[in-house]
A and B are shown apart, each in its own frame.
Chain A
């Protein structure tokens, strides 16, 4: 596939992808109904859904870490078999190798590709500087804070210049302030060379502030896509400022209206439209 073709192709195209598990007592648990998700090259798509709706599973399918029960995933027009080698994956949990320093953790992704160790280390240092950890290269993960570890993980993924970025609630475990800073950093880095991003989250504000398009998933089991919202906020965005724009609030209400019933379902609360407004979940 030539570069020119690629730039027009859809980066991630999940077609009729469903997820079902066999239960130990026999029977089948359908986690995700057949869904279609496509992410254009250069597009930032957020997949928003309540806890346990199977959104991370869809991400794992796009990454090639697990096969779908039905349907297929096309990556830049080609059927995905095995690992998605053009994608970088930012995990929710700590995924750094604890026995490697920050620098080695970042460099290893280049070394696996055959880059000489010396060059890989230079590139790693440069990228650590980009994420604001220039002087932390010699630290081991346990010597870094949660936010710093996340930044190393971001550098680890981005240093390989993946064509697609898959993110699984990457800032979920961080505190509110750190999340803002991390989102800012992510947008800055993304703005420089716009890759296709599939960003899974349960945070409504985060989804709207970051993405070009927000997909809303229904509560599991048998979840499906129930909303598709374009986010026409201008770019480059200032994460803190964008939240005070009237357009942001309009979008927020629209997406929340779609999401709310699903969140209520997750917690087994009665579903009766607008009347439930006063009730605290």
Chain B
């Protein structure tokens, strides 16, 4: 299927969904017992697509949203960088030292089994209501994804490639650089989309549970006053924000993973 056709179909899905939302929230489907018009999606609970878009535009025009966006972006980026670097380092360490991995294995599993949301209040206590409680919440999410992928990547290096590298005279340091690192990196990149997403989740959930700025804060504020339009507007901005970040990730990973077999196109 060619690109334009696919894009057209993708857009039509959005148009239909928004159209249904608009119709059901603005055109009455009948009359209720008390004589009031009956809506399938009452505006008080569902708002309308036009109002949401209008609100989003207003937020951007007035400029109030930029500060919140910047805060969430900074939190997510810090969470991603700290979680990513520590995940890579500890993942490498565990993979190369089976004893360490064996000793810590149950604790790693326990930590990972914990739903991270319950950490948010305690992080707020420990790190305050500023950005750091959100950053650390994101770190706990990102770390495990990167950690498990690096661990797996280093341990699953093809034994033949490894034997060959050793026969080619590589010492331990060279093996790390030329074999283990690139092998692990490909796993890290395949998990990059997930871990970036989780960095944002950490930031937003943290904000939602206690903060004075950020997209999570905006949504929470709107919910507090039953401002459904505001909630949907916040959600829409959040979605666009994550998709933009995801797009950037795709741009970054492409040149780094050229060696991976992909589709071969005939021209």
Contact = CB atoms under 8 A, between A and B. Distances in A.
Interface in A82-141: 83, 85, 87-89, 91, 93-101, 108-109, 112-113, 140-141
Given A140-B258, A142-B260, A97 B169 contact: no
A183 interface: no
Q: How large is the interface on A (under 10, 10 to 19, 20 to 34, 35 or more residues)?
A: 20 to 34
A65 interface: yes
Most buried by B among A99, A108, A160: A99
B250 interface: no
Contacts of A160: 168-169
Contacts of A141: 259
A112 B161 contact: no
B168 A109 contact: yes
A49 B259 CA distance: 37
The main secondary structure of chain A at its interface with chain B is loop
Nearest to A88: B167
Interface in A141-155: 141-142
A97 B161 contact: yes
A223 interface: no
Nearest to B262: A142
Contacts of B170: 108, 112
B165 interface: yes
B169 A95 contact: no
A99 B182 contact: yes
Contact of A113 (B161, B169, B178, B259): B169
8 shortest interchain CB distances as A-B pairs: A95-B164, A142-B261, A112-B169, A99-B182, A109-B168, A89-B167, A140-B259, A99-B259
B86 interface: no
B259 A142 contact: yes
A91 B167 CA distance: 11
A57 interface: no
